[in-house]
A and B are shown apart, each in its own frame.
Chain A
Amino acid sequence: MYNYIMTQTVSLKFRSDAEIVKFVLADSALFGVLVERYEQKLKRYIMRIGILDDRTAEDLLQEVFIKIYQNLNDFDPGFSFSSWIYRITHNVVVSHLRKMNSLPKVVSIDDEDTGGSFIEKLPGDVDLPQEIDRKHLSKKVLSALSELAEDYREVLVLFYIEEKSYKEISDILRRPINTVSSMINRAKVKLKDKLQAIN
Chain B
Amino acid sequence: MSNIAKKILEKIEKEKIKIIPKWRFILFRGFVWTALVIAMLLSAVAVSMVMLQICDIDWDLIPRMVAKPPFEFFRLVPYFWLIIAAVLFVFAYFDFRKTRKGYKYGGEVVVIFSILLSLIGGTVMYFVHAPHMTDEFLSDMPFFREMDEGRQGFWHDPEGGMISGAVISVKDGVLIIQDPGRHEWNVDVLNAEMNGTVYPADSRKAPPCVFVRVMGNSVDGSHFVAREIRCKRDF
User: Interface of A with B (CB < 8 Å)?
Assistant: 2, 5-6, 9, 25, 28-29, 31-32, 35-36, 39, 58, 61-62, 65-66, 69-74, 76, 170, 174-179
Q: Known contacts A36-B5, A74-B20, A74-B25: does B12 contact A31 (CB below 8 Å)?
A: yes
Q: Are A28 and B104 in contact (CB under 8 A)?
A: no
Interface of B, helix, strand, loop or mixed by DSSP: helix
Residue from A65, A73, A175 in contact with B8 in the complex, judged by beta carbons closer than 8 Å? A65
Q: Are B17 and A66 in contact (CB under 8 A)?
A: yes
On chain A, the residues within 8 Å of B106 by CB distance are 176, 178-179
Q: Of all chain B residues, which has the CB nearest A79?
A: B100
Question: How many residues on chain B are close to A (CB under 8 Å)?
Answer: 25
Residue from A5, A73, A178 in contact with B1 in the complex, judged by beta carbons closer than 8 Å? A5
Q: Of all chain B residues, which has the CB nearest A25?
A: B19
Interface centre among B4, B7, B17 (most CB of A within 10 A): B4
- Tell me the total A-B contact number using a CB cutoff of 8 A: 72
User: Interface of B with A (CB < 8 Å)?
Assistant: 1-2, 4-9, 11-12, 17-22, 24-25, 97, 100, 103-107
Q: Of all chain A residues, which has the CB nearest B20?
A: A70
Q: What separation, in Å, do the CA atoms of A88 and B1 have in the docked complex? A: 23
On chain B, the residues within 8 Å of A72 by CB distance are 19
Q: Of all chain B residues, which has the CB nearest A176?
A: B106
Interface centre among A6, A58, A175, A176 (most CB of B within 10 A): A176
Shortest Cβ distance from B101 into chain A, in angstroms? 9
Q: Are A175 and B20 in contact (CB under 8 A)?
A: no
Shortest Cβ distance from B90 into chain A, in angstroms? 18
Shortest Cβ distance from A35 into chain B, in angstroms? 4
